[in-house]
Amino acid sequence: MISDDLARELRTAGLRWQPGAGDTFAIDRAELAGDRFTVSDMTIEPHEFDTGTILGFNGTTEWALDSLAVEDALWIPREDQLRELLGASFRHLARTADGYRVSIVLTGEERMFEDEDAATAYGQALLSLIGASVP
């Protein structure tokens, strides 16, 4: 799973989120640092309104949060979601002695991103891809 810092960098770079079942997110507040939530049809559902998407917390008794604007949530994309977002630029994932290497084609040349965690290597590659596509 990628770090909150990398998720924030992706969001700042322009990655947008349409919440779906199984998605993981954090609430970007110091008092909830490290807590993760999962969108689920039973407990946390996205509700679409003219004003935007709201994440509704159904039946939560631990704390008083009924809903959260999607803009206040920090999406933590999964490895498969990051790979899908790389699209046609993705070439391959390889195991290395220290972790994983993700290869993508960026502006006509192959670029590699390595990390001990595959999802983080995918996230770094996506951040680079987004950065290259923004004028």
Q: Indicate the DSSP class of residue 87.
A: G
Instruction: Tell me the backbone φ, ψ of residue 100, rounded to 5 degrees.
Output: -140, 155
pTM of model > 0.75: yes
pLDDT at 61 over 50: no
**What are the tens digits of pLDDT across the range 93-116?**
999 999 999 999 998 999 999 999
pLDDT of residue 127: 97
Indicate the DSSP class of residue 62. Answer: S
